[in-house]
Amino acid sequence: MMRRHPTSHPGAQGGFTLLELMVALAISAVVAVIGASAMSTALDFYGRNSDRARSREEVRGAERILRHEWTTRGISVKGSATTLEFDTLHPVMGTPGAAPAIARVEYACETAEGSNSLALVHRVKTLPPATPTNTGNRPTPTLLDTQVLASGLRMCAFSYLTRLPNREGKPIPTWLAKWEQLRQPPDLLRMGLSGVRDDMPALVYKARSEAGAP
């Protein structure tokens, strides 16, 4: 009995069909999209965490500078909801150089250039010594240093606590958005700063007639 062996054609080769190739390409595209989406999510999460950490560190730095300068302030304090100005014996300089013996510092909440966010700007101004010719006049401050303490803020504001009489004449604590009593500091000073998240409580500093620690 004779056996027939299958004949092989020289041009016949194994491979993918067109349908199999299209399915493989579709699966590869889906995997690529999922991987790109996961990478984008991870980068966005990392960026938000970095911005949050930077914002909190800037707020802590601004709090330390204000606390340091507020400790040795004078009795003259002037401010509004967006600015705070007072004299201090220990100004913090952002540029190298010897700090003056006494200086006038200014904290200002300003709109950042090219964005809708706010920035806390710190300025140090020198005060010329009083002389017999200008004793009766207030010396003109000279700008010595400017630095941005915190940027990318959603909220930046100051308020001042004092006691105002009510209808019965009893003094009650009241927060004010403006302080013009140059000869007496407020009972409390409050600075509110919020960055990329509104989870930072306002910072409150105590003020006394003498230059006591906050």
Q: 91 lies in a domain?
A: yes
> CA-to-CA distance for 59 and 150, rounded, in angstroms?
6
Q: Is 152 exposed, middle or buried (0-12, 13-18, 19+ CB in 10 A)?
A: middle
Question: 């500093």: which residue's tokens?
Answer: 205
Tell me the pTM. 0.69
Counted domains in the chain: 1
In whole numbers, what is the pLDDT of the chain averaged over residues?
Answer: 79
The answer to whether residue 71 is domain-embedded is yes
Give the tens place of pLDDT for each residue, 75-111.
Answer: 888 999 999 999 888 888 876 666 667 889 999 999 9
Q: What is the pLDDT of residues 131-174, one digit of tens each?
A: 555 555 666 778 889 999 988 888 899 999 988 888 888 999 99
Nearest to 156 by CA among 68, 84, 67: 84
Query: What letters, b where the CB count within 10 A reaches 16 and e where it falls short, cover 54-87?
Result: ebbebbeebbebbeebbeebebebbbbbbebbbb
Residue 66 near residue 122 (C-beta atoms within 8 A): no
- pLDDT of 171-194, one tens digit each? 999 999 999 866 678 888 999 888
* Confidence grade of residue 210 (pLDDT, cut at 50, 70, 90): very low
Residue 62 falls within a domain, yes or no?
A: yes
Q: Could you tell me if residue 27 is inside a domain?
A: no
- Structural domain including 168 reads 46-131+140-206
Q: Is 10 part of a structural domain of the chain?
A: no
Do the domain assignments include residue 101? yes
Residue 33 lies in a domain: no
* Residue 85 DSSP SS3: strand
- What single-letter DSSP state applies at residue 96? S
Contact in structure between 77 and 207 (CB atoms under 8 Å): yes
- Residue 36: inside a domain: no
